[in-house]
Amino acid sequence: MNVFVFHLVSGDAFLTGNAMLVAALLGIASGRMVVQRLASLCGIFGLLLMVMTAVPGNGLYYFAGAGLGISWMIWRFHFRSSRRFGTIFIVVVIAFVSLSLANELSGRRRPDFDEPAPRTLVIFADSLTAGISENEAITWPNLLSRKHSIRVIDYSRMGATVGSELKRLDELALVDGVILIELGGNDVLGATSVPDFERSLNEFLSQVTASHQTVVMFELPVPPTFNRFGSVQRRLARRYSVQLIPKRELAKILASPENTLDTIHLSQPGHEQMARSVWDQISFAFQPVP
């Protein structure tokens, strides 16, 4: 994963886009023609970055962003002499930046746990966790079990989707502890539609949270134009009080060439970094060692 792709899928480009919008406003306020023209370009590119980064948001948010870009061009080329129009536009931009930052930063918080759970971790995951058959790496669930004295029940398997694991739920034991979900990558990269993904994830979370266990889910670092998958994740996580591990954590691991075999499946160093990252995110969910 190259630097630019990581910047997009991690959500960092969204923050860059917001910074470019603010810089554009400052440039326009300078009153210098050359600076104002550069600022206009900066603002347009900032909006493009914000859209490309696929930050979870509803259609109204992206419609507002598109409207902002069109308004920007209208102002610069037709109403730039109107101070009233300019003032209104700047206020709208500041409000848009503030709301968009609040939305994104709220999704970057690490999981917060109210009560410590028994030292058992139940994992539902795909081949990112299970590994691939020809790779003999010690997977990160095994590393967690060895290093941190917790019981790990690993239900990960190659090719798993949210829908396929939903069908298996009745056959699997959900013991007291923490449930960790690392699913959805095959849905995004495969043929699963957003409505089907939402239906499956809604039912899956409904069942695993029914016994009031602590549930944690990896947020998907989705590529551009796939933001609806991320929106579904965040919305359902709020509905069922599921803690999200920020997508930047997974993107950061996949970004390093030495951590993957094929940009998706983890190598041994990748499993080791994944184990460290997961423990850093969920360690406070468990009761201390007796």
Say if residue 269 is in the same domain as residue 183: yes
Say if residue 48 is in the same domain as residue 137: no
Say if residue 129 is in the same domain as residue 256: yes
Say if residue 89 is in the same domain as residue 129: no
Note down the domain range covering 228. Answer: 120-285
Number of domains in the chain: 2
Taking CA atoms, 18 is separated from 11, 12, 22, 52, 78, in Å, by 11, 10, 6, 13, 24
Q: List pLDDT tens digits, range 70-106.
A: 666 665 555 555 566 666 666 777 777 777 777 777 7
Last residue of a domain, one of 106, 131, 163: 106
Q: What does the block give as tokens for 184? A: 């959805």
In-domain check, residue 263: yes
> Is 90 exceeded by the pLDDT of residue 179?
yes
Q: List pLDDT tens digits, range 245-261.
A: 999 999 999 999 999 99
Say if residue 27 is in the same domain as residue 149: no
- Rounded to two decimals, the pTM is 0.84
Say if residue 248 is in the same domain as residue 142: yes
> Is 60 exceeded by the pLDDT of residue 277?
yes
Query: Which band of pLDDT confidence, cut at 50, 70 and 90, is reported for residue 209?
Result: very high
> Is 80 exceeded by the pLDDT of residue 280?
yes
Residue 31's pLDDT is 66
Strand ranges, E, within the chain: 120-125, 151-154, 178-182, 214-218, 243-245
Residue 223's pLDDT is 82
Say if residue 82 is in the same domain as residue 152: no
- Distance in angstroms (rounded) separating the CA atoms of residues 189 and 165: 17
* CATH number of the domain to which 162 belongs: 3.40.50.1110
> Is 80 exceeded by the pLDDT of residue 23?
yes
Residue 104's pLDDT is 74
Tell me which of 101-110, 195-204, 213-222, 225-234 is least confident: 101-110
Identify the residue with better confidence: 7 or 253. 253
In-domain check, residue 206: yes
In-domain check, residue 112: no
